[in-house]
Amino acid sequence: MSASVNSYQKPQNEARALWFEAPRLARLRVQLLPAPGPDEALVATSWSAISRGTERLVLEGRVPATEHARMRAPFQEGDFPFPVKYGYCAAGVVEAGPADWIGRTVFCLHPHQDRFVAPLSALRAIPPATPLRRATLGANMETALNALWDAGAGPGDRIVVVGAGVLGLLIAFLAARLPGAEVVVVDKDEARGPVCSDLGVMFRSARDLSLGTSEADIVFHASATAAGLALAIACGGLEAKIVETSWHGAGDTPVPLGGAFHAKRLQLISSQVGHVAASRRARWTYARRLDKALELLGDERLDALIGEEVAFSDAAQELPRLLAADAPGLATVIRYPSSR
């Protein structure tokens, strides 16, 4: 007698993955998994995070043709613009592989997929103090850490962060740990104020800037908007460094280089996580940087950065809403059947 639907068990070599199929269209695909080799492991995903800025551009088909190769995720399948399996924020538990790996909780730069096989070298152990759900912010924290290194921020600096999204808040969280640093987060959404307060940083509305934010030593821009970049430049003091952490995607972004930009001798630099910051590159590997990022996520206050949860089975239909330009909230995580 054949098994009923309720008693059906998914084959050990079967997985479901989220694919970006066309502009603002996604669906789940079933695919077969290879058996893990001697230096590989099978991971059951518990949670994955949606990287709102980057994945919005991917879902809208706005990855510039010149960046198709550079913007490939480590375990991406397919090619830009579509169809493509994308994502890089997965946390789960090792189900099969070397005996001493089974049961470990790990983070991997893997697309949204309920089970996957990956090399052991690509799996990073999640510290006991960091829950799997929060560990999905690992890639964001890694980007924030790299940005702080690129900026060269130090104790006592007056630091402004324009854009209170997940990346901006993580940068502010790290900057606030510098002794004597004065950290101000600027955003047009005043609902971000309480989150900033919980993280130990000041908040100012982009509509009502107070005195002081125009003389910053370091300014981080993380809003991915032209208006935000203009505001970041306006906040810089004499010879200040403006660190652009946003990825704007296809299209032109105006940069206001008139006004006081030259008179103040401002430095406008980019920070991108694809390379370890030059100031650390001689000593830090990608693995060491990611391990540190996962450790830094041990602070329970960072749970405030995770808002909505969606079930993996609903992810394809919910993705256009979650990645809409006016979507509320901060990070969204995908919950898998094996979540813990």
Q: What does the mean pLDDT of the chain come to?
A: 93
* Interatomic CA distance for residues 118 and 107, integer angstroms: 11
Q: Mind listing the pLDDT tens digit for each residue in 155-183?
A: 999 999 999 999 999 999 999 999 999 99
Q: Mind listing the pLDDT tens digit for each residue in 328-339?
A: 889 999 999 988
195 pLDDT band, cuts 50/70/90, is very high
pTM assigned to the model: 0.93
Of 271, 253, 266, nearest to 171 by C-alpha is 271
248 pLDDT band, cuts 50/70/90, is confident
Q: How far is CA 49 from CA 2, 118, 304, 328, 338, in A?
A: 37, 18, 14, 16, 15
Residue 3 in this model has a pLDDT that exceeds 60: no
11 pLDDT band, cuts 50/70/90, is low
Residue 213 pLDDT: 64
Residue 286 in this model has a pLDDT that exceeds 90: yes
Q: Mind listing the pLDDT tens digit for each residue in 213-230?
A: 679 999 999 999 999 999
Q: Mind listing the pLDDT tens digit for each residue in 118-128?
A: 999 999 999 99
Residue 326 pLDDT: 84
| Domains detected in the chain | 14-137+297-335 (3.90.180.10), 145-270 (3.40.50.720)
Q: What is the mean pLDDT of residues 173-198?
A: 96
Residue 1 pLDDT: 35
End-to-end CA distance of the chain: 34
Q: What is the mean pLDDT of residues 310-325?
A: 96
* Interatomic CA distance for residues 79 and 339, integer angstroms: 29
Q: Mind listing the pLDDT tens digit for each residue in 131-140?
A: 999 999 999 9
* Interatomic CA distance for residues 189 and 201, integer angstroms: 16
* One-letter amino acid for residue 215 of the chain: E
Residue 249 in this model has a pLDDT that exceeds 90: no
Residue 210 pLDDT: 53
pLDDT above 70 as % of the chain: 95
Residue 250 pLDDT: 74
